[in-house]
């Protein structure tokens, strides 16, 4: 053979009647290629987009891809390979004739046919369904013998079937498996929003032997070395197992490196096999839950009295749940950042230290973890870390999909803040709930939709099999309708869950479950416990309290998840306009200031006019509002309501879950100001799953 520009000889191609596919190196790796050294573009999550009717565009220059139904052919042996487009949320089905031999190649999103990340062999009969995926995918089908039929269809799930072990733990659910898994970016490509690496203070490799071993000072617990639950992703391949717990345990040991609190956030990774719970109650009576807590104490000496110490406490009501718990504390936290009362560092002892004191010893004080009728908690101390920073972020979501959720989507998008909606799938299109077409509009514009059961029943008040059906059917509905982007995210109704429900949600196919444990979400080391992600309800909180939640996200460089419900306001029964003064007759509420809200239809808010109440006698409110003209200031021109400035103005939180429209405006402005200052970013659930390891 004669030399060629690609090397001394050219490869010999073997003749074949069926023309099998020839694999080539990616063009970027070939010499003399125009694409030499072309950097691979960054994979980004779907942009928020624009929702029709908002007052200013959230993003410019973003085109929306229109998904067209692909022609589904029968591909014969030796025929031209066919490219198949699989819409988001659907599955690809293939069936070969007797003696068939074919291959389906999944194309790379960026490099197309120059990189084939996955392939399937098709023989005689049906192949297991491929997909669904979070986003459109493309495939190439080539047939070497016989023929193969391909088609797309909506993803579906079978009815729930629950398998429990002798202790009532969920060990298997239905027929849900890889066929209904939603593929995402590989875990090794996720950066966890990490901005700064953490330091390993103690990897627990010497916690039970030698000079670094831990000692029990009180209680009955046994200490042993274990590799059953470890933080190997963080470089820790051993854990200290703490079993046989009594109602009060005290354990202490030296740290491999001392801790100075001012050097950065301290993180203690603690695994809890199960929370102390009695499941013997018969529904609708919920299980019996017992409160428990873990105190982390740093000490400058090894004695039991601790002449110099610093400590903080986390309880089950505030943070603790089964699985991994990233217990965190920052010396700059003054205790006011957490509205549920998690304290800041407490410095004590006969000679109190401070944030700059070096502490070479650590103690765990565990209370309330003794066995209950159906549970026996066991703890694993997986490692102690310091420093490490993620990206401070806020994730705003709203539950139930009431009609006014459209207004909330429009409002937050107008400030370029993405939101996510929890869908109660059995109520869509009924009463005051959003319709399926409205869901499609907000979804196509970038709003994430996640599962929130089918009937919004509190799951720990019904049999476990019924609860699993609620969870599974909700996810199945989202997949069937093509809303698959975050169909693997679940939120418990009223944020009430327990260990068995968390295990069932994971078995059904949910990667992330949101429930009642508050606190921030650390991400620099990966999501510690995606099956039980904490969140904070806007209901019952003032704007000042919510600002503290945002402060905590910025201090701990973590994610704060905020969720709310529908908008509340007072209906306007009459209004007049004269000389720039609007007089409104509305239901009484006793709040001094507020806003007039104009509706273009039932629960569709369009115009918010801040005003100052000059006279509030008997249900009649006089406003100075230059934004309302005489032509629109009439109840005949659409619907009007009065939204009082509460709880945004502060004071005692209301006894309701609902915020006023003006409160949401104030929160949007606060978040937008922090984004402009560069101290905070706003994300949604799909961004969380694309960036963080779960």
Over the stretch 462-473, which tens digit does the pLDDT of each residue have?
Answer: 998 899 999 999
pLDDT at 23: 38
Q: Is the pLDDT of residue 513 over 70?
A: yes
**Contact call for residues 653 and 339 (beta carbons, < 8 A):** no
pLDDT at 665: 81
Over the stretch 296-350, which tens digit does the pLDDT of each residue have?
Answer: 999 988 876 777 888 888 888 878 889 999 998 888 887 777 655 456 778 887 7
Q: Which of 75-84, 549-558, 590-599, 644-653 has the highest mean pLDDT?
A: 549-558
**Contact call for residues 259 and 298 (beta carbons, < 8 A):** yes
How many helices (H) does the chain have, and how many strands (E)? 7, 40
The residues spanned by each domain of the chain are 27-39+70-154, 196-389, 393-566+665-691, 567-657
Q: Quick one: average pLDDT of 59-72?
A: 32
Instruction: State the average pLDDT for the chain.
Output: 76
CATH class of the structural domain 393-566+665-691: alpha beta
Q: Determine the topology of domain 196-389 in CATH.
A: Jelly Rolls (2.60.120)
Nearest C-alpha neighbor of 694 from the set 323, 164, 321:
323
Please give the span between the terminal C-alpha atoms of the chain, in angstroms, as a whole number.
Answer: 54
65 or 134: which carries more pLDDT confidence?
134
pLDDT at 403: 83
Q: How confident is the model at residue 73 (pLDDT cuts 50, 70, 90)?
A: confident
- In degrees and rounded to multiples of 5, residue 604 shows phi and psi of -115, 90
Over the stretch 559-611, which tens digit does the pLDDT of each residue have?
Answer: 999 998 877 655 555 666 665 555 655 554 444 445 555 544 433 333 444 44
Over the stretch 358-369, which tens digit does the pLDDT of each residue have?
Answer: 999 999 999 999
Nearest-angstrom CA–CA distance, 383 and 468: 34
Q: Is the pLDDT of residue 647 over 90?
A: no
Q: Is the pLDDT of residue 370 over 90?
A: yes
pLDDT at 176: 39
Q: How confident is the model at residue 448 (pLDDT cuts 50, 70, 90)?
A: very high
Kind plus residue range of the DSSP H or E element containing 573: strand 570-578
Q: Count other C-beta atoms under 10 Å from residue 284's C-beta.
A: 11
pLDDT at 592: 45
Q: Quick one: average pLDDT of 674-694?
A: 92
Q: Is the pLDDT of residue 419 over 70?
A: yes
Q: Is the pLDDT of residue 26 over 50?
A: no
pLDDT at 70: 37
Nearest C-alpha neighbor of 639 from the set 303, 354, 407, 443:
407
- In degrees and rounded to multiples of 5, residue 531 shows phi and psi of -75, -10
Q: Quick one: average pLDDT of 45-67?
A: 33
Q: How confident is the model at residue 117 (pLDDT cuts 50, 70, 90)?
A: low
pLDDT at 42: 42
Q: Count other C-beta atoms under 10 Å from residue 517's C-beta.
A: 21
pLDDT at 195: 85
Judge residue 609's burial from the number of C-beta atoms within 10 Å of its C-beta, 0-12 exposed, 13-18 middle, 19 or more buried: buried
pLDDT at 352: 78
**Beta bridge partners of residue 298, listed in sequence order:** 310, 362
Q: What DSSP state is assigned to residue 534?
A: -
Q: Quick one: average pLDDT of 502-521?
A: 84
Over the stretch 387-404, which tens digit does the pLDDT of each residue have?
Answer: 988 999 999 999 999 888
Q: Matching CATH topology for 27-39+70-154 and 196-389? A: yes
pLDDT at 189: 75
27-39+70-154 belongs to CATH 3.30.1490: no
Out of 249-253, 287-291, 656-660, pick the least confident: 656-660
pLDDT at 640: 52
pLDDT at 211: 82
Q: Is the pLDDT of residue 171 over 90?
A: no
CATH class of the structural domain 567-657: mainly beta
Nearest C-alpha neighbor of 420 from the set 428, 429, 409, 411:
409
Out of 128-137, 200-209, 497-506, pick the least confident: 128-137
pLDDT at 398: 94
486 or 630: which carries more pLDDT confidence?
486
**Beta bridge partners of residue 105, listed in sequence order:** 119, 140
């Amino acid at each position: 053979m004669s030399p060629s520009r690609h090397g001394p000889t050219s490869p010999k191609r073997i003749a074949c009647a069926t023309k099998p596919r020839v694999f080539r190196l990616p063009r970027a790796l070939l010499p003399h290629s125009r694409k030499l050294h072309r950097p691979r573009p960054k994979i980004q999550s779907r942009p928020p987009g624009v929702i029709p009717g908002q007052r200013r565009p959230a993003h410019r220059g973003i085109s929306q891809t229109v998904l067209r139904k692909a022609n589904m052919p029968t591909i014969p042996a030796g025929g031209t390979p066919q490219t198949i487009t699989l819409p988001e949320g659907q599955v690809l089905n293939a069936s070969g004739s007797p003696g068939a031999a074919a291959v389906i190649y999944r194309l790379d999103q960026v490099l197309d046919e120059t990189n084939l990340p996955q392939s399937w062999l098709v023989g005689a009969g049906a192949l297991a369904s491929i997909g669904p995926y979070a986003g459109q995918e493309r495939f190439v089908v080539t047939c070497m013998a016989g023929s193969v039929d391909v088609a797309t269809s909506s993803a579906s799930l079978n009815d729930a079937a629950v398998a429990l072990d002798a202790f009532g733990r969920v060990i298997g659910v239905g027929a849900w498996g890889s066929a209904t898994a939603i593929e995402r970016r590989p875990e090794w490509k996720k950066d966890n929003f990490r901005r700064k690496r953490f330091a390993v203070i103690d990897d627990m490799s010497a916690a039970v032997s030698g000079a670094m071993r831990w000692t029990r000072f009180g209680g009955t617990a046994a200490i042993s070395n274990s590799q059953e639950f470890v933080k190997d992703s963080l470089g820790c391949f051993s854990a200290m197992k703490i079993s046989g717990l009594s109602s009060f345990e005290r354990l202490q040991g030296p740290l491999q490196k001392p801790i100075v609190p001012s050097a950065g956030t301290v993180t203690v990774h603690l695994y809890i096999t199960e929370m102390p719970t009695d499941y013997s109650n018969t529904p609708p009576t919920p299980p019996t839950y017992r409160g428990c807590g873990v105190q982390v104490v740093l000490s400058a000496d090894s004695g039991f009295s601790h002449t110099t110490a610093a400590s903080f406490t986390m309880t089950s009501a505030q943070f603790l749940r089964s699985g991994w718990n990233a217990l965190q504390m920052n010396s700059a936290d003054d205790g006011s950042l957490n509205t549920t009362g998690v304290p800041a560092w407490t410095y004590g002892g006969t000679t109190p230290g401070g944030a700059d004191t070096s502490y070479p010893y650590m103690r765990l004080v565990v209370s309330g973890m003794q066995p209950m009728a159906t549970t026996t908690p066991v703890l694993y101390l997986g490692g102690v870390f310091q420093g490490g920073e993620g990206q401070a972020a806020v994730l705003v979501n709203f539950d139930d999909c009431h009609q006014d959720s459209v207004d909330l989507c429009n409002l937050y998008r107008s400030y370029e803040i993405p939101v996510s909606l929890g869908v109660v799938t059995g109520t869509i299109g009924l009463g005051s709930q959003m319709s399926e077409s409205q869901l499609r509009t907000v979804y196509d514009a970038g709003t994430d939709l996640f599962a929130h059961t089918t009937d919004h029943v509190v799951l720990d008040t019904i049999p476990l099999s019924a609860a699993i059906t609620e969870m599974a059917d909700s996810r199945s509905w989202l997949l069937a309708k093509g809303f698959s982007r975050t169909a693997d995210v679940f939120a418990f109704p009223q944020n009430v869950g327990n260990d068995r429900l968390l295990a069932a949600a994971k078995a059904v196919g949910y990667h992330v479950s949101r429930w009642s444990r508050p606190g921030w979400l650390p991400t620099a080391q990966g999501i510690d416990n995606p099956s039980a992600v904490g969140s904070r309800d806007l209901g019952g909180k003032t704007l000042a309290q919510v600002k503290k939640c945002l402060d905590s996200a910025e201090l701990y460089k973590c994610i704060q998840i905020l969720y709310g419900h529908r908008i509340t306001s007072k209906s306007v029964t009459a209004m007049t306009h004269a000389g720039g003064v609007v007089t409104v007759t509305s239901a009484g509420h006793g709040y001094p200031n507020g806003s007039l809200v104009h509706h273009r239809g039932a629960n569709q808010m369009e115009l918010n006019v801040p005003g100052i109440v000059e006279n509030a006698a008997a249900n009649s409110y006089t406003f100075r509002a230059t934004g309302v003209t005489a032509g629109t200031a009439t109840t005949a021109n659409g619907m009007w309501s009065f939204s009082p400035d509460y709880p945004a103005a502060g004071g005692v939180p209301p006894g309701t879950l609902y915020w006023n429209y003006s409160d949401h405006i104030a929160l949007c402005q606060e978040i937008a100001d922090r984004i402009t200052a560069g101290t905070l970013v706003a994300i949604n659930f799909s961004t969380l799953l694309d960036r963080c390891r779960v």
